[in-house]
């Protein structure tokens, strides 16, 4: 990802510290895996191998002052059809827990979110771009075979 961004002369930072009121309440520093700096704002990106640690990502992604954010999940096993409902449910639970725990309505207004899941061994991609993060619906995913 960094090679592609560098070749296109896009400013970016790995493990970028972010200002996050939600994380401040939890008394810990916030970092995103990758931040891309554009003229009109920042895009925060998180990469995941397991859906179990998504709970700590939504508070920082939703409360940062970025234009949008993205979760890239890499499933490195077989039988994605069996695991997909569990993965979508974990993301939904983490998102809803974040919204109920923190006062975020103004911070998420007009923020977009990309969900991307790569089922590596089965060569399948599941994704969706939500242009309004206030209305995420993880049951609506598009699929491509690669």
Q: Global pTM?
A: 0.81
Mean pLDDT of the chain: 82
Q: For residue range 122-135, list pLDDT tens digits in order.
A: 999 999 988 776 66
Top-confidence residue, 20 or 53: 53
Ramachandran quadrant class, 33 (left: phi over 0; alpha: psi -120 to 50; beta: rest): alpha
Task: Please give the Cα distance from 127 to 71 (Å, whole number).
Answer: 10
Rounded to whole angstroms, the Cα distance separating 41 from 67 reads 6
Task: Tell me if the domain spanning 2-145 has CATH number 3.40.1350.
Answer: yes
Alpha carbons 124 and 48: distance in angstroms, whole number: 16
Q: Residue range 54-70: average pLDDT?
A: 79
Q: Which residue has the higher pLDDT, 137 or 63?
A: 137
- Domain locations in the chain as residue ranges: 2-145
Q: What pLDDT, in 10s, does the model give residues 92-105?
A: 888 888 777 766 66
User: What is the tens place of the pLDDT at every residue in 13-47?
Assistant: 999 887 766 556 656 677 889 999 988 888 899 99
SS3 143: strand
In the prediction, which pLDDT does 134 show?
65
pLDDT in tens, 66-85: 888 898 999 988 899 998 99
pLDDT of 2 over the 90 cut: no
Q: Does residue 86 or residue 28 have the better pLDDT?
A: 86
């Amino acid at each position: 990802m960094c090679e592609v961004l560098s070749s296109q002369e896009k400013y970016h930072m790995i493990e970028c510290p972010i200002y996050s009121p939600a994380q401040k309440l939890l008394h810990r520093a916030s970092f995103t895996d990758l931040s891309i700096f554009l003229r009109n704002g920042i895009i925060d990106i998180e990469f995941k191998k397991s859906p179990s640690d998504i709970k700590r990502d939504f508070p920082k992604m939703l409360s940062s002052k970025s234009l949008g954010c993205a979760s890239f999940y890499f499933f490195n096993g077989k039988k994605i059809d069996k695991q997909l409902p569990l993965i979508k449910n974990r993301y939904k639970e983490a998102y809803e827990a974040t919204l109920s725990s923190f006062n975020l309505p103004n911070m998420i207004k007009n923020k977009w979110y990309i969900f991307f899941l790569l089922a590596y061994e089965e060569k399948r991609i599941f994704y969706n771009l939500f242009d309004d993060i206030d209305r995420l619906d993880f049951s609506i995913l598009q699929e491509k075979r690669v």
